[in-house]
Structure 1
Amino acid sequence: MDLLSRWTEIEAFLNKGGPAIWAIAILSVLTTALILWKVWRLILMGAWAGRTTEKAVQRWAVGDRSGARALLDGRRSVRAVVARSAVTARMGGAYSETEIREEVERVASGQLARARTGLRALELISTIAPLLGLLGTVLGMIAAFQTLQQAGAKADPSALAGGIWEALLTTAAGMAVAIPAGVALTWFESVADRAQTDMEDAVTRILTRHTPPPAMAAAAE
């Protein structure tokens, strides 16, 4: 019974804002689901995991190629996948320098595309949510002043004030959705940008490191 009364209160609140606030409410649910899904996806992609890749690059730098490959094998993080593609292409010896770079760029582009999946949707939500709120406010103000005009000299100022604050609910609701969406978008973009920087650094260090002298390679092993 308590849940039913709570839902009745929520429904009454949404009805005060009209269709615009219902649309904003749907956007709020989608925004929450999208943010949670994106965090989960980034965790699965290992967007914050980079220590193993750094260790592998360090081993590669001193000539321990097999050790570097062993550290990267089986890793699913975006940095490790790209670094492994560079190591594999370099160790294969069957590709030219241009072909190696093209292959690594292909793998890196795919990983970055996965890391940025869903960001366009968040950007769209952060843009249209306040616009929907403003639209709802404008429509509510129009309705309030139409009521005032129809009432004529008998207009009740309290009724007008009530109509105005109900109209302003949509603006507040739109901002309440747009602000978290914008913050999450900036955060996810920073995570993707950091991963891109780390991948470029790792690939450059791998591809520019040539075969070490035999003495150095033996010492590394």
Structure 2
Amino acid sequence: MTDTASASLLALGGPALWVIFGLSVLTLAVILWKLWHFRSLGAWSDAGMIGRVAARARGVRASEMSAADQREEVTRVARAELAAARQGLRALELIATIAPLVGLLGTVLGMIDAFRVLEASGAQADPGALAGGIWEALLTTAAGMAVAIPASAALTWFDSIVDRLRLGMEDQATRILTGQADA
């Protein structure tokens, strides 16, 4: 699509489409940042997040702490690691929720405008103009869904990564604190 066609579509969609366009840019930015963030946290390596929790579990197991205090300390470290892993996911969740709503709002406003034009034209209504107005109105709904779908898919994938990390941390910490793994 040419720059002129893109600008024309943005103009046809009105303010709602501009908001959706902004949400699409934000979605891409959050997804790319999240991929970088997971990599920097070591989410895809055993020595990363799970390894840090396991190292802390080994450290507290060798200490003079009570078993309850050991579990509490390892839980604290794991929660901090998981909180870091979940950063940015609320933004994707919000975008996946509001993008279709903004699109629907744009459609409703566009339909109101199309019917206002129809009413103003009275008996001389041009079906082509009405169809064009409806097409323009529906554009925002499609755009909203086009932004929400990848945001929702990315959110689901990132949530599954965090769940895998949580299970790995729990498994490693339990094995170490119960003596089932080499300290």
Give TM-score, length-normalised by structure 1. Answer: 0.79
Runs of 4+ in 1 over 4 A off after TM superposition: none
2-structure distance, mates of 1:9, 1:176: 18
Letter in 2 for 1:88: G
Task: Indicate how the Cα distance of structure 1 residues 210 and 190 shifts in structure 2: closer, same or farther if over 3 A, else same.
Answer: closer
**Partner deviation per Cα, 1:87-108 (whole Å, 9 max, x = no partner):** 11112x2211111111111100
2-structure distance, mates of 1:185, 1:96: 39
1-structure distance, mates of 2:78, 2:9: 48
Report 1:10-49 matches (<5 A).
10-49=6-45
Report 1:22-171 matches (<5 A).
22-50=18-46, 75=47, 77-91=48-62, 93-171=63-141
1-structure distance, mates of 2:155, 2:9: 28
2:176 is equivalent to residue 180 of structure 1: no
Alpha-carbon shift at residue 9 of structure 1 (Å): 2.7
Structure 1 runs not aligned, ≥5 long: 51-74
**Could you tell which deviates more after superposition, 5-14 or 164-173?**
5-14
SS of the equivalent of 1:197 reads helix
May I ask how many residue pairs the two structures share in their alignment? 183
1-structure distance, mates of 2:15, 2:3: 17
2-structure distance, mates of 1:16, 1:203: 56
**Partner deviation per Cα, 1:3-52 (whole Å, 9 max, x = no partner):** xx9433322210101100000000000000000000111111121212xx
2-structure distance, mates of 1:94, 1:207: 13
Task: Indicate how the Cα distance of structure 1 residues 26 and 145 shifts in structure 2: closer, same or farther if over 3 A, else same.
Answer: same
Structure 2 runs not aligned, ≥5 long: none
Percent identity over the alignment?
60
Give TM-score, length-normalised by structure 2. Answer: 0.95
**Partner deviation per Cα, 1:36-75 (whole Å, 9 max, x = no partner):** 000111111121212xxxxxxxxxxxxxxxxxxxxxxxx4
Task: Indicate how the Cα distance of structure 1 residues 104 and 44 shifts in structure 2: closer, same or farther if over 3 A, else same.
Answer: same
2-structure distance, mates of 1:49, 1:210: 22
2-structure distance, mates of 1:106, 1:138: 48
